[in-house]
Every structure is written in C-alpha cells, then in structure tokens.
Structure 1
Amino acid sequence: MKKLIAPLKNKIGQIFAIFLFLVVQVYCDLTLPQYTSDIVDIGIQNANFQFIIDTGMMMLLMVAISALATVGVSYFSSRVSSGYAKDLRKIVYSKVLKFSNHELNKISRSSLITRSTNDINQLQSVLAMIFTTILFAPLLGVGSIIKAFELGTNLSWIIFVTFIGVVILLVIVIVRVLPYFKVIQEIMDKINRTSREILIGIPVIKAFVRQDYEEEKFRKINEEFYDVNIYVFRNMLIMLPLMTLLMNLMIVLILYFGAYDAMRGSILTGDIIAFIQYSTQVVTSFLMIGAFFIILPRLLVSGRRVNEVLTTDLTITDGELTDISENPTIEFKNVSYKYPNSEKETIKDISFSLKPSKTTAIIGGTGSGKSTILNLIPRLQDPSSGEILIDGKNIKLFKLKGLRDKISFTPQKAILFQGDIKSNMLTGKNDATDEEIENALKMAQVDFVSNLKEEVSQGGSNYSGGQKQRLSIARAIIGKHDFYLFDDCFSALDMNTERLIKNNLKNLKDSSILIVSQRISTIIDADEILVIDNGEIIDRGTHSELVGSCEIYTEIVNTQIDSMEALS
C-alpha cells in the first residue's frame, strides 16, 4: 500500500494544520459541558446573574473558536483529500499509459475506468472522513471519558454498558455487509463494460434489431446492482435509529440513577447535566468510529483495486541505451509471438529487415499475424522468442521514448482525439508550424478541411472512415521519423486517392516504410513484399517475382485483377 500513501508525502504541512485545528476544536467542545455545570451549580443555585452572563460569554467564545477550527479542518481536509485524489489519478493514468496489451488483457479497460474514477473517489471521500471524523472522534471520546471521570460520579458503568451495546450492533452490521462491498465494485465493472459494449455496438444492434435483447441484458445487471445496494444500505441505515435508541436509553439511565445520587447529595444537578453531555460525546465518538468501520471494507476493496494497477508488473520496460544512429536498420531475427493464455503462436520464426529508403510490404489473410508484427516494432508487445535488432542491438536495450521517437505508427483503426485539426496534428509533432501541418494535410490528400481550427468530435465521429484515415496518415507523416508503419490504413480510400498519397510518400526520403495491406494496389511497387500465412513467411520478393512463384499471392492478385486493371 506504500504507493497508495505516496501522494500524501508532500501534504504533511497541511495534515499537521488539520491536527492542530482538531485539537483546538476538541478542547473547546470539552469545555462546554463544564461551563453548563457551573452555570447550574453556581450561577442558578446562587442566583448570580453576573456569573451566568460571564460564563455564557465564555461559552459563546468557545463555540466561536470551535466553529473557526471546524472551518479550518474542513478547508485543509478538502484540500488534502482532493489533492490526493488528483495526484493518485495522475499516477494511475501514467502507469496505465505504460501498459502493454498483456496488462490490458489482465485488467480490462472498463475496469481501469472504474478504478481511476469511482474507486479513487471512494478513497478521496474516506480520506476526508478520516481527517474530519476519525482523528476527531478518538480525541473527543478519550477527552470526554477523562472529563466524565473527573466529575467523580459512580455512573461510569452506564457508559461502559452503552459502549458494549454499540460494539455488538456494529459487529452485526459489519459482518452482514462486509462481503457485499467487493460485489458492488465488481458489478460496477460489469455495468461499465456492458454500457461501453452497447454504446460502441449501437449500429450493429440496430442493424440486427437486437434492442430488446440488449435492454434485457442491461436491465438484469442494473437490477443486480440495485438489489445489492438496497441490501447493503438497508443494513447500514437501520443502525442510525438503533444507535439513537441506545443513546436515549443511556440518558434515561443516567437521569434515573443520577436522581437518587442527587437526592442523597452525592452529586450536583449540574454535574449530572455535564455527565450526560460527556456521555453523549463519548457515544457520538463511538458512532463516528463505527461509521468508519462500516465503510472500511469499501475502502479496502477500492484501495486494493487501485493498488493492483499501481503494482502491476510491466512486461514492456525501459532499456538503458539512449542513442540511436541516424537512418538505422531494424532486423527481425527468428521472431515468434504467442498471446497470453494462448496455446498457439500467432507468428512463427519471422525474419526480415527494414532498411533506409526502402519500402517493405506485408500481405496475407485475416488473422495471419500482420498487425502483430507491426505492434512488435514500437514495443507495444515483446516477442515470445527471437530478437528484434536495431543496428545489431536488441531493441529492449533502448529507452522506449528514444525508440518510439524514431517510429511513426498509423494503426489499422483511425483514431482521432476531441479538439480541432491542429491539436490532432500536433500529436504527431508537438512543435509543428501551421505550414508543416498544411503540407502534411496536402500530402495525405486532406482536401475537406477548411481551416486548422475546424472541430474534431470525440473519436472523429464528424468525419467519414476515409476522411479519418487521411487525417490519421497526415498526423503520421508530419514529423521526421526513420520508420513509418502503416497498418492497413488505406482500406477506406478509393484507388485514385491511395495512388496520390503513395506517390507523396516517396518524399519521405532516407526513411524505411512498412505497409500492411489486403490490397495489391497498395503494395504493388514495394521493394520487398512478405507473404504471410498462418503466422509464417511463406514467400518474399517483388510483385513481379511473386505473381509467378507464390500461389497464395497469385490467388490474391486474381481476386483483385479487375480493380488492378481499373487502376492501371
């Protein structure tokens, strides 16, 4: 749990201020019952109105100081808890950005969203409660017990009996609700996952008229969440009236037995009133601590879930080397890769090189491992066996930032971020000028953008598939890189637009280009074409060499011959 506590280290001064304000608040609250006792036993008993007024003014002063101390506690506790949550989210977010596909398969994306929002919110709320309640309650409780004993009465056993009753009640409630807090968090993950799945799949759901089925599926999960919450909060909320009943019974017992002591003259009336107030403060402090123990299981569950993210071992780690030569060569040397929990290797014994000023292409059937090969180059995942070398050195030896600065990767699915055209282009090069952005847009045949401030909706939903692909390509080529990886990112483009973009890519001199595609037209002029089948390279060569020698490549060409002729 050290990583969960780490964000509090730079807030020690504010925490100390909270403790000081709490001490002042408790001191003021503990003096009030004594002042009440003095007013009754001295002021009223002796008809000393001046004493009553003077004592009353002191009480008002103590109330004012206590109120100011309470404001101070609330102010600093809110700053500490909110700052803690902000810093913790930043740490979690930074860690998640380092996750590879292996970690994302271990902790799902929907669960990561819940952990970085709801779970951290739970930690923030509990932290604020610790500062405003849990630190306050023991101070008030211990102080009230001491003050109650100082009164010298024989009624202290009533406090002890009430305490036993409170403890028994708390234990019963905690035992009943404890197992369900983890269930609530797990169901929230399911709701998040199901909602995300439905929202993404709305077009498919509508196309196959599956609205009723999806509504029923969500209704079941929602009702499950409702039922568990009702059970938990019903058990928790019933504690309040029972605790109030115990407190009132305590006051009745004090008045009953205290009346006999008062008639015998062994206790003053004001002391009975003060004892009731101190006893009430003791029980109230127990209730505060009890309330914390009730939410403690939720705190532990949320803390454990967030801590799991922070302590997850990364499969992709930094190397030590920082310097990579200009225009290097990348070599795959007997590389194989198997996805976690999979028995079958996705790619097997892959060997090829990416050289400066050369274009390499990969073609093959769906699921043959083409995208997996591209993911290995920027180390989005690491090989199960074999090596990937850059200028003869394993890429694992290099710093991730230095390695990825050399690589531009255009994924299969065009991803745009909410903002405007310029902010999306600056993702490719953060110091790009407007002239550089416009030049990249021109190279990618982006002729549908009126200005760089044009809005981009979340996920680029205000653009078509082909438009998003062209914007994604423009973002990839805006910066100078040694390797440009294009993962089937021309699929939504017409032949003519594709040809124009490919001609413009020839301006990326001295760089190596790797293109994955299902279309012959995209790779026909590559310097080397790798034909992949079932994760293995079955042939390689230029287009003209493969047409006559590779059966699979020839079949692909024949299925696309009409479009090839149209292009020519």
Structure 2
Amino acid sequence: MLFMFIQVACDLYLPTITSDLVDKGIVLKDLSTIWHDGAYMLGVAAIGLLAAAGNVYFASTQAMQVGEKLRQQVYHRVLRFSSKEINDFGDSSLITRSTNDIVQIQNVMVQVLRMMLQSPIMLVAACVLAYIREPRLTQVFLISLPILAVVVIIVMYFAVPLFKSIQKKTDRINLIFREGLTGVRVIRAFREEGREQERFKRANRDYTQTGIKAFTLVSFLFPVMTLILSLTNVGIILLGSQLIANMTMQVGNLIAFMTYATQIMISFMMLSMIFVFVPRASASAARVNAVLEKTISVADVPQDDQVKVDPHAPASLDFNKVNFRYQGAEKLALHNLNFKVRAGQTLAIIGGTGSGKSTLVNLIPRLFDIESGQITINGQPVKKLSQNDLHQLISITQQKAVLFTGTIRSNLQFGNENATDDEMWHALGIAQAADFVKKAGGLDAPVEQNGTNFSGGQRQRLAQSLGQSSSRHPSTSLMIPSPHWTSRPMPNSGWPCGMIPRFSRQLRSLLPNGFPQWLMRT
C-alpha cells in the first residue's frame, strides 16, 4: 500500500513540475529553472520507478503465496475425499482446478493488488487536479468517458460467459488427454488412434474457437480505448489552443492538463481491464471453492461418539444386512449381504465381472458408505471408528497396481514408515518379488511414475500390494488380485500354476496369530 501511494503521488506530481518547467523555464528561456526543474523531475520519476517496482514485487509475492496456500488446501481436501466426491468432480477436473484455475486466480490477484486501488485513486485524483488546473477543458471528458464506459460494459457482457465456457472446455481437453494416456494400449490394440485423435481434435477446436472469440473481444478494447484517448487529446488541444490564442491559458497548463487526461484515460482503461478479467478469475475461484466446500460424504463421527478397538479383542469382521448402491443407480449393487469372518479364517469371494467383489472390499475401509445395515470390525461399527484408526486396522491390496515415483523402499514404507530392511525383504519374499528386486538394485532401486520401469506382473507384486500391506501388520488384510490370479497358468501373468495355494501358505507365515485373511478373487 505504501509503495502504491508513493507511486501515485509521484505520477500526479510530475505534470505540475512539467507545467512550471514550460512556463517558467522554456517560455522565459531561464536555463537555471530548466536545469533545476529537469533534475527535480528526474528525482521524482526515479522515486516513482522504485515505488512501482516495490509495488509489483509485493503484489506478486502476495499472489504467489495465496496460490501456494490454495494448492495446499485443495490437495489436502482432495486427500480427504471419498470415492464419491472424486467421482463427482472427476480426475481431470480436479487437476484443472488445482493448477490452471489457481494460476488464473494468481494472475488476476497480481493485477488487482497493483491496479484495483491504484486505478480509482489515480482516476479521482487526476480528475480533481485537472479540474483545478483548467476547469474549462474538463468538458471534453463528459463525452469521452461515457463512450468508453459503454464499450467496456458491452465487451464484459459478451466476454464473461465465454471465459466461463473456456474453463469447462479446459476440463474436457484434460479429460480426453488423460483418457488417451491411461488407455493408450487399449486404443492401439483396437486400432482406434484415428477416432481418439478426431475426438481430441474436436475438443481442441471447440476450445480454440471459444478462446479466439473471448480474447478477440478483450483485444478489441485496446484499439477502441486508444482511439478514444487520441480523440480526447485532439479535443483538448483544439479547445486549449483557442484559450492560449485568447491569452486566457498558459502553454504549461495545457501540457499538464493533457498529462492528467492521459492518466485519467489510462486509469479508466486499467480499471476496465480488471472488470474484464476478474469475472474470469471469479469462475476459477468458484470452481476451487466448490472443492474446498464440498461436503465429504464419508466423515468421522464427532470425537465424543468415536470408539476404540480393543487390541486384545478377538479379530473379526461382520456384515449384517448390508445394502449399497452407487450414486444415481436404480438397483442395489449389494443387497442384504450377511457373513462373518473370525480370527484365523480365510474367505475367498468368487464371482464374475461386475458382481460386486471390489465394491464389497471398498466398503470395509469406508471408501464408500453403505446405504443400510452395519459393518463391524473386532466388534465395533466401522462408522464409529475414526478413519485413521480404521485404516490402521486394515491393509488393502487393490486390483490396479499403483506405484509412486521414488524407490522400492519408499513405496514399501507407505504401509509402515518405520519398517526395517529385514521386514521389507521378508514381505517381498512373501510376494515372490525378492528376486527381481535384487536384480534391479535392491530396495533403493528407482521406481518411475506408475512403475513403468517394471512389468505388469512385477508391478502387481510391488504396487501398494503385499510388500506394502504386509509390512504394516494390520488386523485385517483385504486383497483384490487382478484377473490373472488363477489356478491355471496364463502367459505373462506373473502368477504361475499353483501360486495361489503356495501364496496363501506363505501369507499365513508372515501374519500374526488370529489374523483374519481375505482373498477376493475376480
């Protein structure tokens, strides 16, 4: 704020010095006045330059810090989302909101901090000083400013909806691009490259055409404003020359008034541009705010109502009349599901594709909430456990292999950051992964994004799987093997004939006594 006021004061004071230099120095041919006022102008201009630099620096710093905090809040919020909230937004939309939308907010915030206060102050102060300097010339503004205001309103009326549409079309492009990356093998296998390219081309063309319309409208402002400013100066010169010819006004006053007129028009232009771009940022802010204010469907009960699991209680898992349906679905995905598993038991749930095996497993760690019924672990309802405590009790191996960039060690420590090397090697041995891990360079072998430097079978053994989940020693293990986990040999599956029985026996050797095991076969 201080730097901004100094900058505005310097800019407004310069026309006064210019007027004195012309009237008392140039007109009277007084070299000492010319040198004195010239040096004075340089000093004031230098101070204004430094103040402007400080204003830009602090505005940029503040905007970047706000962006940093917003990204952190969005990321933290998304990590708390259940699968329902993630599905509501979509992966591509969440990525766009945490990147492009926040960048839009940052960019506009820089302009707002620099110009939102500076422009009105400059506009009002320049109008007052111009009127004090020469009231007779201010009638020119009665024509130019209303015309400029009408142009800005018209542009805003048509441009704001287009900017909102651009944000949605950005989501669409990200969605198609993301689908192309994740499904590239399927696309190539079915020779659908042409169709996918055409789909992306249509979305890209739609985005481009909307962007051209929006930015053409905004760009239209600059030549129109320049034209109005030029015509304003022409009107001031025509009217001022008559006053000078009649000896009722000095040349210095005309020059100072023209400078004030330029400052008035530029301030109005800057203010107009803010009103054009703020709606675009407001659309982005609304999208980011929707993430931050999204009601989380799977939330902890109040702390006073939470319960703790007795570590000495017999391990158990009960489903009692459980019903579940996905959002918007007419039929239940799971209907009146009842079963009990006690300590030391192994349960395999077998069914065809779409029969609800993965859905069942996802209900236990509360990735979704059930519609009715009750799920209990060790005798306690999962809804009354804090999610942190619940996830400490459960180790889940999903069907899709997920590896994070880093090392094998860092991936294994997702389950237990304090796991020792011996524990990790033991877990890898159980997962039949120790041999290829040793060949890759041991626990510190690098893991690329999504584990692309490993084969599918190797990723299945590593990624958030037996090596990670077994090293936590939870009380319940949930496994959703991929479709190639069968008792018959399958080429390139990574799980040869007879692996399941041997795998189950080795799993028991790793887990503590009284450990209920799950093997969900798809």
Taking structure 1 as the reference length, the TM-score comes to 0.85
What amino acid is the match of 1:324? V
- Report the counterpart of residue 316 of structure 1 in structure 2: 298
Residue ranges of structure 2 left out of the alignment (5+ in a row): 486-492
Query: Partners of 1:235 and 1:260 in 2: how far apart?
Result: 38
Aligned partners of 2:137 and 2:236 also within 8 Å: yes
1:420 corresponds to 2:411: no
Following TM superposition, by how much is the alpha carbon of 1:204 offset from its aligned partner in structure 2, in angstroms? 1.6
Residues 230 and 260 (structure 1), Cα distance of their counterparts in 2 relative to 1, 3 Å cut: same
Deviation readout 1:478-530 (Å, 9 max, x if unpaired): 11211111012572422344444322211202322121014xxxxxxxxxxxx
Mean CA deviation greater in 357-366 or 108-117:
357-366
SS in 1 for 2:518: strand
The percentage of aligned residue pairs carrying the same residue is 36
Counterpart code for 2:153: V
Match of 2:401, SS?
A: coil
Instruction: Give me the whole-angstrom Cα distance separating, in 2, the residues matched to 1:370 and 1:201.
Output: 23
Distance 1:277 1:72 in 2: 24
Contact 1:354 1:514 survives alignment (8 Å): no
Match of 2:430 in 1: 443
User: Which among 501, 504, 511 is matched to residue 502 of structure 1?
Assistant: 504
Give 1:473's aligned residue: 466
Q: Is the 8 A contact 1:153 1:267 kept in 2?
A: no
Q: Which residue of 2 aligns with 1:275?
A: 257
Contact kept, 8 Å, 2:187 with 2:193, in 1: the verdict is yes
**Match in the other structure for 1:56:** 38
Tell whether the 8 Å contact from 1:445 to 1:500 is kept in structure 2 after alignment.
Answer: no
Which position in structure 2 is the counterpart of 1:460? 451
Q: Please identify, of 160-169 and 493-502, the stretch whose mean Cα deviation from structure 2 is larger.
A: 493-502
Distance in 2 (CA, whole Å) between partners of 1:458 and 1:42 is 72
Query: Aligned runs of 1:76-155 on 2, under 5 Å?
Result: 76-155=58-137
Distance apart, 1:153 and its partner CA: 2.8
- The answer (yes or no) to whether the contact 2:403–2:451 under 8 Å persists in 1 is yes
- Aligned counterpart, 2:318: 331
Query: Does 2:354 match 1:367?
Result: yes
Equivalent residue for 1:307?
289
The one of 255, 258, 266 aligned to 2:240: 258
Q: Find the aligned partners of 2:454 and 2:393 in 1 and give their Cα distance.
A: 29
Letter in 1 for 2:476: F
Letter in 2 for 1:323: K
Question: What amino acid does structure 2 have at the position aligned with 1:304?
Answer: A
- CA deviation profile, 1:364-395 (whole Å, cap 9, x unmatched): 22211111111011110010110112344322
SS at match of 1:173: helix
The one-character-per-residue Cα deviations of 1:218-243 (angstroms, maximum 9, x if unpaired) are 11111111111111111211221111
Distance 2:307 2:401 in 1: 30
Q: 2:320, 2:415 → 1: CA distance?
A: 29
SS of equivalent residue, structure 2 residue 344: coil
Residue in 1 aligned with 2:478? 485
- 1:512 alignment partner AA: P
SS at match of 1:97: helix
Is the partner of 1:154 in helix, strand or coil?
A: helix
Q: 1:467 corresponds to which letter in structure 2? A: Q
Matched, 1:514 2:518: yes
Task: State the match for 1:189 in structure 2.
Answer: 171
Is the CA contact (8 Å cut-off) linking 2:134 and 2:257 kept in structure 1? no
Unaligned runs of 5+ in 1: 1-18, 519-568
The alignment yields a C-alpha RMSD, in angstroms, of 1.5
Deviation at 1:195, TM superposition (A): 0.9
State the one-letter code of the partner of 2:316. T
Structure 1: how far apart are the matches of 2:203 and 2:384?
A: 47
Counterpart residue identity of residue 204, structure 1: V
Amino acid of the structure 1 residue aligned with 2:437: V
Q: Deviations over 1:396-437 (max 9, x none)?
A: 122111111111110011111111111111111112222222
- What TM-score do the two structures reach when normalised by structure 2? 0.93
Of residues 240-249 and 292-301 in structure 1, the stretch that sits farther from structure 2 once superposed is: 292-301
Q: Distance in 1 between matches of 2:60 and 2:424?
A: 44
Partner of 1:178: 160
Quick one: structure 1 residues 354 and 71, their matched pair in 2 at CA, closer, same or farther if it must change by over 3 Å?
farther
The 1:391–1:479 alpha-carbon spacing in structure 2 relative to 1, beyond 3 Å, is closer
Which amino acid letter does the alignment assign opposite residue 473 of structure 1?
L
